Chain A
Amino acid sequence: MTSTQVNPQKSTSGGNGTTPLIRLDSVTKVFLTDEVETHALSGIHLDIRDGEYISIAGPSGCGKSTLLSILGLLDTPSDGSYALKGHEVANLSFADRARIRNREIGFIFQSFNLIGDLTVYENVELPLTYRGMSAGDRKGLVTQALDRVGMAHRAKHLPSQLSGGQQQRVAVARALAGKPAILLADEPTGNLDSRNGEAVMNLLKELHAGGATICMVTHDERFAQHADRTVHLFDGRVVEDSRVAA
């Protein structure tokens, strides 16, 4: 592994000169609570290219989750621009953000966030239903996604009937099912034991090998190393962007 110190305010993958999948330019996020301004992110520049596997690391409170929320269009930056596939998405309406989120972004959460009274199949199907797809089309995609994570045999089970590792694999399948442009994973191993954590990381690696773009937040150095590139945040700023040698 080699480590390259880059301009902390200008973090790109270097690369091939084509338009990045994601481009953040001078993104800041300020929270106002009780008349106190908290700068969660300050002047973030970040490019993520198609097919990249990037991990965002840093200590608690450094702004990892805020950055992921902005990347996932769950939140909007206070300032700066955010281009997804070359289109500015920073100031879209709630409804437009929801539509893009549904089509272009797949989420994997630390605590799985499966819906308790839906079966495994229905959980994976959920984002597709919001696209207005026909049941037949949905079935193909769901089956494919469950096959991919090795959970097809548990399609009719409820989340409560699965182990933590299995639940996270279902969550990965849900994120994959709609063939999003990027998978955003927020501490995907945080609620798992080391064996299951390792298994999920291997699954992400396989997905990446298959062409998936992945952006993962983690504070576990071991898992950060699974990525091609690691962006280190500290106090809301990118302090290091290192690439792992193949």
Chain B
Amino acid sequence: MIRDFKFALRQLLKAPAFTIAAATVLALGIGVNTAVFSLVNTLFFAPPAYSKANEMVQLFSQDIKDPKKFRGFSYPTYLDIRDQNTVFSDVMAFNLAFVGIGQKGDTRRAFSAVVSSNYFSVLGVQLARGRAFLPEEETPGHNASVAIVSYSYWQKQNLDPGVLGSQILVNGHSFTVIGIAPKGFVGTMQILSPEVWLPMSVYDQVANDFGADDKTTIADRKGTQLRIMGRLKPGVTPVAAKPALEGLAANLEKAYPVEQKDQTFITAPVARNSVSNNPRAEGGLKAIAPLLLGMAVVVLLVACLNLANMLLARGTARRKEMAVRLALGASRWRIVRELLTEGFALALLGGVAGLILGLWSSDLLVASMRKLMPLDIVWLAGPNPAILMATFGFCLLATLMFALGPALKLSRSALVADLKEHAGEDVVRRRWRFLPRHPLVVVQMAFSLALITAAALFIRGAGKAASADSGLRPGASYVLEVDASLAGYDPARAQELYRNLSDRLAALPGVEHATICAVVPFGMFEQSRKVQRAGMHVAPDAKPATAADGLAFEASWNSVGADYFTTVGLPVVRGRTFSEAEATQPGPKVAIIDEALAKKLWPEADALGQRIQFAPTNAVSADSGGTAHAGGSADVNESSKPEETIEVVGIVPATRHALFEKTPGGGIYLPFARGFQSDISFFVRFHSLSPENESNTADLIRRTVREVDPSLPILSLSTFAQHLDSNLDLWLVRAGAALFSIFGLLALGLAVVGLYGVKAYSVARRTREIGIRMALGAQAGAVLRMIMGEGIVMVATGLGIGLLLAMATGKLLSGILYEVGALDPVAFTAAPLVLTVAALIATWLPARRATQVNPIQALRTE
């Protein structure tokens, strides 16, 4: 075997150009697979950062009467479960919260985890430095100002030992760093890590609207803020734990019949990429994994087909060599083994290059994610054993795909003929001559077309997403995001601050309007509430079918300033806008709704002047028309009670609030004073904005904020166009387009190079035949037509098969495409056109060379 390997290496060294070309082709194919595997493995298969993951489960609170409904836990319920359960060796509770980290005026947004004191011990994680939280630091009301920071936070401080014991500002409050998490620890998720862990006692201080179901305090039994995870006792399986947990839930319902009504407890494996109170939150993400792996394997297949062609061509030249070996007594198996070893050596070369390429491109992908995500992405994409094994596996797979066929073919030598025949002559004896020569190239073409079409579909989606109409016409506007709570403001002071800031911004030179709003459409978060006609008291078990019966509708929620609609160019079509008094002082309950919600609530009548109310979160609601949103959505906690009614004073056009909202599902706007939240944005609309003045304008806005309060953190400042462009949903669509474009371009490049190589090689081998034809009177045009014709048959056959594959791929991708049909005519025209043009050029070059064959020299080769 070693001798075979040495011989293989010698053979490869003898043909360095071939070896480099083949290793490059393999590196591309294997590199893509390594990168995708690295991503998929980290997200779905790699062991989590905590110990004995198989023992860990997440606990969910499920509605017995409506098993699709889940909710979180209150802190008192967590304590009951922790103390009374019989199946867990220990249980911990936590939730994520958005916080502002940093110095005054230089605050950035980050994720924190607010955790019970046993969080790290239940996960079995030893801190890199310092200590974990103490039990007393968990107690609500204790407000223990201590924090544990992530390893990457420490890295950003250059691993300064002084970080331990230093102060870190979280939401404007000072916390002492008591511990540093170990390297690679990302909490319960795979790559998205909190940057700071805070004790449960500060929950009320740092919790914000995101992820909070209501505004109860952490000590309130009605709360649903927490997620619970537990480590099962040795020998206890989830199935065995079920009756005990159901019994525990029943006992708690007896003890707290209101708070725990209809709730039972179930377990599920810990979600790897989300923190949710629903055990099915990760379904969609998991579906993408096989798709990505599948596409990557197709690229490898195209690369291998390419290489198989190269080997077949090279094999033609080595036919005589093989015949001599066989004549000297080598067995067929021996020849196959030698050729496979040669292929494997080549695959290993490509594998090493592919591994480097793959890891490098993974890092690029993560770097591009880091720019947009307010999360700490921990990516340890080093050559770990799983990735090395996978790459080795890809090498083996590649060897079988590209080397086995040619090896078997070469070893089946027609001894006498091969020994006599002109070495390397391309004598083709095909029974089915109407079929194209080189079927491997045809298959390559077909797979390439499928991948190019997939790329075209994604590019079309990205194009549509980038030019998606938000429905707003804010002109030359800046969007400024601030959060007064991060600077320690309470709501009343924050309201005052925002009023002041709004006035100052409106007074800036060149400003047309300035207004405040809780939510900027197409931002990271969307907020929604269920809205129904006023005066509805629907029985708990009733199933209303119409708005008149009390059916509620999910509507996008926003609270805005008086000038909001003027500033964002959303004309009030009926009724009026909010008055300055309504926007700044809690007064009569009024709302402006959009035409979509108006039509849903009063299909036959005018909604203007009618009264509405927010429905309870468990109210029966109609499908709002698709409000899936990658950034997540959260119910909003408007202070009014559901039974308090709101007058509709204005109707505005319906607009989309998120990129993935196909049609506007309905929206409701409250005056800002009635829908206060600390994390808000200002639209600052200028008469005009020239690109060269953008940075000056941004500086002017920053200065104004600092003049109002130097401690107020600016969370983001961008033009509205930049805001739309940095949308996370758009990034996802663009990332998809970029990923599939890489797949498509690689496949296109490989297929075209493969076609060129095969045609060029074929022309070289058929020099004598072309010479004969010319001697018999064939003119240049006839030779060109012959070679081009054969190429066109190959391309056309490949395109035919490829179109079928592309249609199947389109159907497969249709679920994740952005507003593009599975058979989008533009993509299905552009992709074949690109491939055809590229393929024709690849065929034309060797065909042109064929016309320059000198018949005398060609015939002299005999």
Contact = CB atoms under 8 A, between A and B. Distances in A.
B782 A130 contact: yes
A98 B429 contact: no
Interface residues of B, number: 21
B772 A99 contact: no
Contacts of A109: 772, 859, 862
Contacts of A127: 776-777
A206 to B, nearest CB: 23
Contact of B856 (A69, A103, A110, A111): A69
A115 interface: yes
B780 interface: yes
A116 interface: yes
A7 interface: no
B428 interface: yes
Contact of B777 (A102, A113, A114, A160): A102
B774 interface: yes
Nearest to B771: A113
Nearest to B772: A113
Interface residues of A, number: 27
B427 A113 contact: no
A107 B776 contact: yes
Contacts of A116: 427-429, 769
B768 interface: yes
Nearest to B782: A130
B845 interface: no
A89 B438 CA distance: 41
A98 B856 contact: no
B433 interface: yes
Given A74-B856, A75-B856, A117 B776 contact: no
A136 B772 CA distance: 24
Given A98-B774, A126-B773, A158-B429, A113 B859 contact: yes
Nearest to A127: B776
B705 to A, nearest CB: 79
A246 interface: no
Given A74-B856, A115-B769, A160-B429, A95 B777 contact: no
Given A69-B856, A75-B856, A109-B859, A131 B777 contact: yes
Nearest to A126: B776
Among B773, B774, B777, B855, the one with the most A-chain Cβ atoms within 10 Å of its Cβ is: B777
A103 B777 contact: yes
Interface in A106-129: 107, 109-111, 113-117, 126-127
Contacts of B859: 74, 109, 113
A117 B428 contact: yes
Nearest to A180: B777
B779 A115 contact: no
Nearest to A94: B780
B777 A98 contact: yes
A101 interface: yes
Interface string B497-522: 00000000000000000000000000
B629 to A, nearest CB: 61
Contacts of B68: none
A236 interface: no
A99 B779 contact: yes
A133 B775 CA distance: 18
Among B427, B428, B769, B859, the one with the most A-chain Cβ atoms within 10 Å of its Cβ is: B859
A107 B775 contact: yes
A174 interface: yes
A72 interface: yes
A144 B768 CA distance: 27
B778 interface: yes
Contacts of A160: 427, 429
Contact of B862 (A74, A111, A130): A111
Interface in B758-786: 768-769, 772-780, 782
21 contacts: A94-B780, A95-B780, A98-B777, A101-B777, A102-B776, A102-B777, A103-B777, A109-B772, A109-B859, A110-B862, A111-B862, A114-B772, A115-B769, A115-B772, A116-B427, A117-B428, A117-B429, A126-B773, A130-B776, A158-B429, A160-B427
The 4 A-B pairs at the shortest CB distance, nearest first, are namely A102-B777, A116-B427, A127-B776, A117-B428
Interface of B: 427-430, 433, 768-769, 772-780, 782, 855-856, 859, 862
Given A110-B862, A160-B427, 11 more contacts: A74-B856, A95-B779, A102-B776, A109-B772, A113-B768, A113-B862, A116-B427, A116-B428, A116-B429, A117-B433, A131-B777
